Structure 1
Amino acid sequence: MLHFKTIALLSSVTLIGCTSSPHAWQGQSGSKRVFIELKTTPEGTPQAFLSLPEQWIDKAQADTLVLSDESILAIFNRENIRFEGAFHSGKDSIQAEVTTYGKIREFTLGKVDSLRPIYFSQNPHPPYPYHSEEITYVSCDSIQVAGTLTIPSGKGPFPAAIIISGTGKQDRDGTFSGHKPFFKIADYLTRQGFIVLRTDDRGTGKTNGIYEEATTCDFARDAQAGIDYLKQRPETDTKHIGVIGHSEGGQVALMLGADSPDVSFVISLAGVGVDGLQILKLQNKAILRTTPGMTPERVDQFMSLFNTLFDKVHAVPLEQPLDIPLRQAFDQWVAQQDEATLKAVNFNDGRDEMFFSRYLHQAQGRWYREMINYDPENYIPRIRKPVLALNGDKDIMVPAKENLESIKQLLDKGGNTRYKIVELPGLNHMFQHCKECTREEIPDLEDVFSEEALQIMGDWLRENVEFR
């Protein structure tokens, strides 16, 4: 296929860069960047090149370019993109609309020399008033864990904490779409006088191993190895080492609070407080309810299917295979449904078999089978240390009400009175102020980690951790 280039220079235009030197502008909307360059050929013909890094578009050349002193229109046929903007401040900035496959995003672009990293103002930026050190230590299974240790300025020893990530491979900063929440937490707490250790998950960054073969108990052993490392550092006050866990990492933090004599405090950030079977049901129902176009009736239809499968996986003993009993439960559920229900859950044109195959593969994994059998009653009532549990009330991954209530009830059952439970209004699972509060909007939200949550953590630590 031939692609013809169309160039239109309006009569008022002053050509930008009538030499080979390009002029470039960059803007950001949520987690999406746009980068546009204007160049001229030796013959004086202007060209436009567009990059959308988060959409894997790199220096696409415009098929149509309409350029004037006031505005720019660039159309990229192959990529189905339209860039339309107005110059401001002597062409130092562009107010633009970028249309990709019919969806419009507004950008304010500023002049730059080259493509810059994605930027969120809440991410920490240098200079830092503390020491930062790249470290490694050995965990079980010959795992070489790599991470960053931040140490306050001044004379120690200092209280310390290790940050434990949630489900899914994450680097030491907890990076997603340019947001770095674990770096934010570490920066804040180190400025408050805490040593903080944050690490790359197995098979991520500079840590070796295979993440997919690990279970929650393996992650707990990795975290304990981090605590052992902190105990060896001369800057650490070994009587005051705590664990800070997010999501599944909050579950790990509570487990270590019960099992590790080295842990002196526990902070659970959207941590799992109910059993594994209940969290699966709560999570999936909350996600379905916030899915655009999902009616209450369809939510119930999907949950009927999901609950059937979850209950069967939970009922089969860990040492027994799943394939036959799960197949029987699935076939029985399908046979009991009418055509409207099967269509509502997208079980047409052979999709039922594709769904079952994918779910069976997931459910047979060691992590999944141990997770669904997790019981917080085996751990939380045994915690004798101070506990802080925070959740956002818009969290659909670890719904706040049920999980915080369970943590409180189990701490009370064990006789622990040194705890604080806080449900934060307007915050999602990643402790961001959300708008639609769906999973889809998380990457585009400006928040990296709630300042209110950080303040609560800092105040609580000052009340519960002694400083020398």
Structure 2
Amino acid sequence: MQRAVGKVTIICLCLFILIFSNLALSTQSGTSILGNWMSKPGQFKIVFRVYQNKNGSFTAFTDIPDQEAWDMPVDLTLSDGSVVRFEIYNIRCVYEGTISKNGRTIEGQFKGPDGGGMPLVLERVDNPPVRTSKRPQEPKKPYPYKEKEVFFENKTDNVKLAGTLTLPGANGPYPAVLLITGSGPNDRDQHIWGHRTYLVIADYLTRRGIAVLRYDDRGVGRSTGDYDKATFEEFKRDALAGVEYIKTLPDINVKKIGILGHSEGGAIAPLAASESPDVAYVVLLAAPGLSDFEGLLEQFTDGYRAKGAGEKAISVKRSILKNIFYAVRQEDDANAAKTKILEILRKAKPELAKLTADEKQKIELESVDTYDFDWILSTGFSSILRYNPKEALRKVRCPVLAMNGDKDTQMPKENLKGIAEALEAGGNHQYTIKELPGLNHLFQTAQSGSPSEYASIEETVSPAVLNIISDWILKQTSK
């Protein structure tokens, strides 16, 4: 359950179209910004596409072909006739550059979420890369149900959240479910490695007669707020604001509203459900049941092992991270935590000195003196470290469905045992636990379960998973 932190980070997210009007599109030399712009060979591959609509307004998109990220909306501005800014707000990245006098190139900087940048030169191209991967489960319009853009407000935090509501074609009242996205700044479709997981889930459930509300995380897409500074408590309030909004809808059975959370969303769901009597059921997909602390260590360990690191090197890095995580969890003051981290790194120098340069590289700790640990001190990551899933789950009183793939390398299947134990400890016996063979963290049928496979797998969500979720929800809401 990892957040987007560190160096320039690319997270695949959703597609929706933004229209821009009153945009000056000509440079001083009279050349148009319209068309396709791609980074030069040998650089980070990215494409920006600018179109003019029939009504005279403009639309811009970006593609990152190597990461199967296509059609991401871009906020385009042009100043002084030749200074262009492409803001990919869904992934919080920006490209700023200057168009050459001949209008054939743009020279500038690509900046990631952390502010770090790299030089990037774009060239005008006639035939940019096109998407070849298939996503057969993505629904095609027109849909056999109602769909509309909606907005609701977390009044406590003054955050306005944007989402998509889908309502079955038949007459209501319907049961409903709110979808909470996983880790990292996600859009309403939870667009990951070219897959729109929540679009597929929402489509399937709505066709089965269940109303679905999915929404952009705060600070993502059309939602306001700051994702990076948000805590689990604030994400919980966002979710509860969604439940309150669903209650106002005329076609909804207000006694049959549930929450579905994937990965980190599966941490937020119990917090929301335990606080609101309006939550009738909870679906947890690859959710934490053990301490996130333990789960994070396993994630990092698996990642280093996948890079070819030896067990000795992994043990050294795991020990360092464990001590750092403890320090951050125990210290509310960032400066005090930073002091402790520096001392931990200083004491680790003798053990690190025994490793080769190659081993240090594979465990991502080439030098203690230059190690960047600011991401660990971030509000979001600190919130993850301090989250206790068992404590949250013990307070849940409604029925729970918890599922995990046995090839999940990001949230291991062992978490299911922790979920069951926590619910039992709280006196909740209304739960169903399912360990699903052959499925990864995204619930795709997988070979190894490694995140490197996500984009290459055509399946977005296993049909069996979709069926289990819908059958279970309909069973709970028919009582």
- Give yes or no for TM over 0.5: yes
Q: Does 1:124 align with 2:139?
A: yes
Contact 2:346–2:368, Cα closer than 8 Å, also in 1: no
Q: Does 1:400 align with 2:400?
A: no
Residue 287 to residue 444, structure 1, CA distance change in 2 (3 Å): same
Residue 265 to residue 330, structure 1, CA distance change in 2 (3 Å): same
The code of the aligned residue for 2:418 comes to S
The code of the aligned residue for 1:216 comes to F
CA shift, 1:354, in A, is 6.3
Q: Does 1:449 align with 2:449?
A: no
Q: Does 1:263 align with 2:265?
A: no
Unaligned runs of 5+ in 1: 1-31, 35-50, 57-111
Question: What CA deviation, in whole Å up to 9, does each residue of 1:230-266 have, x standing for no partner?
Answer: 0001011100100000001011111122111110000
1:411 aligned to 423, 430, 441, which one?
Answer: 423
CA shift, 1:329, in A, is 1.1
Unaligned runs of 5+ in 2: 1-44, 48-61, 68-126
CA shift, 1:155, in A, is 1.4
After superposition, where does 1:347-386 map in structure 2 within 5 Å?
351-353=366-368, 356=371, 358-359=372-373, 361-386=374-399
2:304 aligned to 280, 288, 293, which one?
Answer: 288
Question: What CA deviation, in whole Å up to 9, does each residue of 1:44-87 have, x standing for no partner?
Answer: xxxxxxx996159xxxxxxxxxxxxxxxxxxxxxxxxxxxxxxx
User: Greater Rg, structure 1 or structure 2?
Assistant: 1
Q: 2-side partners of 1:396 and 1:253: how far apart? A: 21
The code of the aligned residue for 1:456 comes to I
Identity of aligned residues (%): 34
Residue 33 to residue 210, structure 1, CA distance change in 2 (3 Å): closer
CA shift, 1:215, in A, is 1.4
Q: 1-side partners of 2:175 and 2:435: how far apart? A: 26
CA shift, 1:343, in A, is 5.6
1:304 aligned to 319, 341, 348, which one?
Answer: 319
In structure 1, what is the equivalent of residue 260 of structure 2?
244
In structure 1, what is the equivalent of residue 472 of structure 2?
460
After superposition, where does 1:304-323 map in structure 2 within 5 Å?
304-317=319-332, 321-323=336-338
CA shift, 1:129, in A, is 1.2
CA shift, 1:148, in A, is 0.4
CA shift, 1:116, in A, is 6.7
Q: 1-side partners of 2:404 and 2:391: how far apart? A: 22
In structure 1, what is the equivalent of residue 30 of structure 2?
none
Q: 1-side partners of 2:423 and 2:370: how far apart? A: 39
How many equivalent residue pairs? 361
Residue 435 to residue 350, structure 1, CA distance change in 2 (3 Å): closer
2:149 aligned to 121, 134, 143, which one?
Answer: 134
In structure 1, what is the equivalent of residue 234 of structure 2?
218
CA shift, 1:370, in A, is 2.2
The code of the aligned residue for 2:360 comes to V
Q: 2-side partners of 1:350 and 1:413: how far apart? A: 40
Question: What CA deviation, in whole Å up to 9, does each residue of 1:202-251 have, x standing for no partner?
Answer: 12111122211111211111010000000001011100100000001011
The code of the aligned residue for 2:143 comes to Y
In structure 2, what is the equivalent of residue 438 of structure 1?
450
Q: Does 1:389 align with 2:402?
A: yes
In structure 1, what is the equivalent of residue 95 of structure 2?
none
In structure 2, what is the equivalent of residue 326 of structure 1?
341
Q: 1-side partners of 2:333 and 2:64: how far apart? A: 44
CA shift, 1:292, in A, is 4.0
In structure 2, what is the equivalent of residue 425 of structure 1?
437
Q: 2-side partners of 1:418 and 1:292: how far apart? A: 41
Q: 2-side partners of 1:211 and 1:117: how far apart? A: 32
Contact 1:408–1:421, Cα closer than 8 Å, also in 2: yes
CA shift, 1:305, in A, is 2.5
Q: 2-side partners of 1:327 and 1:33: how far apart? A: 37
Aligned to 2:355, the other structure's residue is in SS state helix
Q: 2-side partners of 1:33 and 1:330: how far apart? A: 37
Aligned to 1:441, the other structure's residue is in SS state helix
The code of the aligned residue for 1:388 comes to L
CA shift, 1:362, in A, is 1.1
Contact 1:334–1:342, Cα closer than 8 Å, also in 2: no
CA shift, 1:296, in A, is 3.1
Contact 1:219–1:252, Cα closer than 8 Å, also in 2: yes
Contact 2:237–2:272, Cα closer than 8 Å, also in 1: no
In structure 2, what is the equivalent of residue 8 of structure 1?
none
The code of the aligned residue for 1:450 comes to S
Q: Does 1:147 align with 2:163?
A: yes
Q: 2-side partners of 1:349 and 1:220: how far apart? A: 33
Residue 33 to residue 351, structure 1, CA distance change in 2 (3 Å): closer
Aligned to 1:321, the other structure's residue is in SS state helix
After superposition, where does 1:38-53 map in structure 2 within 5 Å?
none
Q: 2-side partners of 1:33 and 1:324: how far apart? A: 39
In structure 1, what is the equivalent of residue 173 of structure 2?
157
Contact 1:427–1:434, Cα closer than 8 Å, also in 2: yes
Residue 318 to residue 228, structure 1, CA distance change in 2 (3 Å): farther
Aligned to 2:367, the other structure's residue is in SS state helix
Q: Does 1:279 align with 2:291?
A: no
Q: 1-side partners of 2:460 and 2:369: how far apart? A: 36
Aligned to 2:192, the other structure's residue is in SS state coil
With structure 2 as the length reference, what TM-score do the two structures score? 0.70
